[in-house]
Amino acid sequence: MNSRRRAVSCLLLAACAASVASASEVAWPTSLAARAGLRPEDYLQPTVSGRPESAVFGMVREEGRRFHEGVDIRPSAHDSAGEALDLVLAAMDGEVAYANAAVNGPYGRYVVLTHRNAELPVYTLYAHLATLAPGAKVGLFVSRGTTLGRMGRSSAGATPITPDRAHLHFEVGLVLSKGFPRWYAAQPDNRGSRNLHGLFNGQNLIGMDPMPLLTQSRVDLLALHRSQPVAVTVALRASQIPDFVRRHPMLVHGEPSGAAGWYVEFSWQGMPLSWKALEAGHPQLPPGRWKLLEIDPRRREQLIHRQMLAADGRSPGDLLRQNVEILLTPPH
């Protein structure tokens, strides 16, 4: 792992360690031996490139041109046919929000938990499962450590996952909007392509680095979220309170009920970090639906690769446009 990635990881871990007084308890998400003393090389499952960094979060695929939303954890045991035997476990107390038993997308068989009682109501996602546990039923509360399924290699992606690369893809992040199904159905490119996963379609999920959950037994998720640097800011108009704002009041500054628009800070990967209410007539309100305001020049190249910025490094990229439009789409 390069020095920049190590420095960022240290900052994230420090933010988590500093706030253990009000933190969520976390369990290791597989049946790999207890995490005490584990080194990254003990649990990371790289891509076919063999590079350990390809298994972690960030622009780590295809020479830094493709984003990986989570962390890939390898198996510790195999059966006689070479298939993974490890169980996949709930990382935190939560509710089963989605369970996909079909292999109909790049995640393959996957389970999503929501953690509404955490400092920040995040989701955790467990993908590429071989099988789902009988208890992985939508609406059920599960305690951390509860079995969700068996590790595998299921995926409908372009490249099959071979037995020697079976792994758990583990994510933690935020749901952008309950209006996502409406946004998806309105896109011309999606005509004839049904949204099979509802709110838990990958386009509606934005992850943050899950490494602190793998290296700490208690994590303050709100502090972790706030530790992410601001890379881009936008101003947008909204005639009603965005769904994201209603679900994440701890990220909001100002009075939502009187807002004519919002000043929104985003991380480099496209996660909304904070929302500031703008009153009618505020000079930052855009003349149209929304406007890109500020860019951290130190992250320009990273933002271009992530498609938060266009190739010119100055105008909005496809991902930023998509995320803003999803955030602005009301549920009804």
Residue 52 pLDDT greater than 70, yes or no: yes
Mean pLDDT, rounded, for 235-261: 96
Asked if residue 163 is part of any domain, the answer here is yes
Same-domain pairing of 133 and 78:
yes
| Residues 85-104 pLDDT 10s | 999 999 999 999 999 999 99
Mean pLDDT, rounded, for 132-155: 96
Asked if residue 224 is part of any domain, the answer here is no
pLDDT of residue 38: 78
Greater confidence (297 vs 135) lies with 297
What would you report as the CA-atom Rg of the chain, rounded to the nearest whole angstrom?
Answer: 20
Asked if residue 173 is part of any domain, the answer here is yes
Mean pLDDT, rounded, for 207-226: 94
Positive or negative CA dihedral for 206, 212, 218, 221? Answer: negative
Same-domain pairing of 192 and 288:
no
Residue 332 pLDDT greater than 90, yes or no: no
Buried b (16+ CB within 10 A) or exposed e, 58-76: bbbbeeeeebbbbbbbbbe
Q: How confident is the model at residue 241 (pLDDT cuts 50, 70, 90)?
A: very high
pLDDT of residue 65: 75
d(CA 66, CA 290): 27
What are residue 124's phi and psi, to 5 degrees? -120, 145
d(CA 176, CA 266): 12
Same-domain pairing of 198 and 238:
no
Domain termination residue (choose one: 219, 239, 273): 219
Domain termination residue (choose one: 185, 219, 253): 219
Q: Which of 37-41, 45-49, 262-266 has the highest mean pLDDT?
A: 262-266
Q: Distance of alpha carbon 313 from its chain centroid, rounded?
A: 24
The residue to which tokens 């101003």 are assigned:
235
Q: Which domain holds residue 197?
A: 3-219
Q: How confident is the model at residue 5 (pLDDT cuts 50, 70, 90)?
A: very low
Q: Which of 293, 276, 287 lies closest to 237 in space, CA to CA? A: 287
Q: How confident is the model at residue 34 (pLDDT cuts 50, 70, 90)?
A: low
For the chain, give the percent of residues with pLDDT over 70.
Answer: 92
Same-domain pairing of 179 and 50:
yes
Mean pLDDT, rounded, for 294-319: 97
Q: How confident is the model at residue 161 (pLDDT cuts 50, 70, 90)?
A: very high
Same-domain pairing of 305 and 282:
yes
pLDDT of residue 305: 94
- Range with lowest mean pLDDT among 24-28, 147-151, 212-216, 265-269: 212-216
pLDDT of residue 135: 85
Alpha carbon of 43 to those of 32, 62, 98, 146: distances in Å? 8, 21, 26, 20
Greater confidence (7 vs 58) lies with 58
Q: Is 35 exposed, middle or buried (0-12, 13-18, 19+ CB in 10 A)?
A: middle
Q: How confident is the model at residue 16 (pLDDT cuts 50, 70, 90)?
A: very low
Mean pLDDT, rounded, for 29-46: 82
